[in-house]
Structure formats: C-alpha cells, structure tokens
Structure 1
Amino acid sequence: MFEGLDLGNMGKMMEQMQDKAKELQEQAKNVELTAKAGGGLIEVKANGAGEIIDLNIDESLMEDKESLQILLISAMNDVNKMVEDNKKSQAIGMMGGMNPFGS
C-alpha cells in the first residue's frame, strides 16, 4: 500500500510547506484591503493578516451614534471577509491550485 513512499522526502516536503506558510504570513502583512460602508462614510483598512490598520469616519456621522455603529460593523465584517478570502486564495496558490475549501 505504501510501496515507494519515501518518508524522508515527506518530512522535507512538510518543512518546505511550513516555511512557505510562514513566508505567506509575512507577505500578508503587506497586503492592504479596504472596505467601505454608507457610500464611503466609513472606510476600514486591514492588512492581509487581519489587523485593522486604518479607519476613516465621515464627520457627518459623529452626531448619529446608531448609524455610525451599524456602518462600522458592516465595514468591519466586509473587511474581515476580504481577509479570509485573501487567505484562502493564498492557501490554494500554495497548494498548486487544489481547493481544500470546497468552493
């Protein structure tokens, strides 16, 4: 069943994959993703690692706490989805195009 399987090479392959994953994590910090809500009244920027790196709030929202909260939540959810999609596409690229995520 496992004839011809070189376990020594498997260890090297796993090590290479781990090194590649670390490299991708570092590269992700250089990726910048932006989500807007309310026609641009709120803008949230995150890096590919999921860290929020910038936030812009239009002055007109400062008096409307409820709208501010709703738009902020929307923009943050959108940017988080972008980060996850970016991570998935990097993982698929690392695996040579095989998609372990099912879609």
Structure 2
Amino acid sequence: MDKPFDLSGLFRQAQQLQEKLASVQQELAGRTVEASAGGGMVTVVTNGKLEVVQIRIDPSLLDARDMEMLQDLVVAAVNEGIRAAQKMTADEMGKLTGGLGFKLPGMP
C-alpha cells in the first residue's frame, strides 16, 4: 500500500528552505568580491547585494587627457564586479537548492 502524499510535510520543507535562503542572502550581503580592469588599474569591490562598496583607481590614470579611458575602465570593472557577485550568489544558492531541479528568480 502506498503512503498518502504528505502535503503538510512538503509545506514544512518549503518553509525551511525559504528560511535557509533568507539566511544565505543575509550572509551574502556581508561578503564581497573584487574585480578589476586595465590590468588592475581600476578595482571594484562588490557585495552579495550587488552593491559597489569600493572603487580603487591607480593614480597614474588621473590624467585629465585620458579621462575617457578611465571612465571605460571604471565601467568595465563595475560590470565585472557585478558578474562576480552574481556568480558568488548563484554558487551559494546552488549549494542550498542543488538537486531540486529549479532556478531561483534573478539567479544566473
């Protein structure tokens, strides 16, 4: 005889998963990743909430004649920082949801 489907158990598991996801998201908000452009001349630090928390620029780039290159490097470094933070988040969430066969919205 087959066991009846345990809907309350499924809801309990879903609630536990939701609590774990919230905990991981909170932990990720405090973690950072670094990304750079121009061989390290512009470095961006991004947190798990995809916020840029720091930008470091090599002083040699502060020549006003080369402002366009500096702007391009900042954009490239910020975009790389966001990609790195997204990967960090996806990796951590994947550990939690691995094997469940679904992707969370907003996760790469």
CA deviations over 1:62-81 (Å, ceiling 9, x no partner): 22211011101111111111
1:86 aligns with: 88
Tell whether the 8 Å contact from 1:92 to 1:99 is kept in structure 2 after alignment: no
Tell me the percent identity.
Answer: 28
Indicate the residue corresponding to 1:26 in structure 2.
26
Question: Structure 1-normalised TM-score?
Answer: 0.85
- Give, in angstroms, the shift of residue 31 of structure 1: 1.5
Contact 1:28 1:49 in 2 (8 A): yes
Q: Which amino acid aligns with 2:73?
A: L
- AA in 1 matched with 2:50: G
Question: Is contact 2:44–2:55 with CA below 8 Å preserved after alignment?
Answer: yes
Which structure has more relative contact order (CA 8 Å, sep 6+)? It is 2
Q: TM-score, normalised by structure 2?
A: 0.82
Deviations 1:19-68 (A, max 9, x none): 01110111102211000111111010011221111111122222221101
How far 1:100 sits from its partner (Å)?
3.9
Distance 1:61 1:80, change over 3 A: same
Q: How does 1:1-103 map to 2 (within 5 A)?
A: 4-62=4-62, 63=64, 64-97=66-99, 100=102
Structure 2 CA distance, aligned partners of 1:52 and 1:36? Answer: 13
Unpaired runs of 5+ residues, structure 2, are none
Q: What is the root-mean-square deviation of aligned Cα atoms in Å?
A: 1.9
Which consecutive unaligned segments of at least 5 residues does structure 1 have?
Answer: none
Task: Name the SS of the counterpart of 2:98 in structure 1.
Answer: coil
SS at match of 1:54: strand
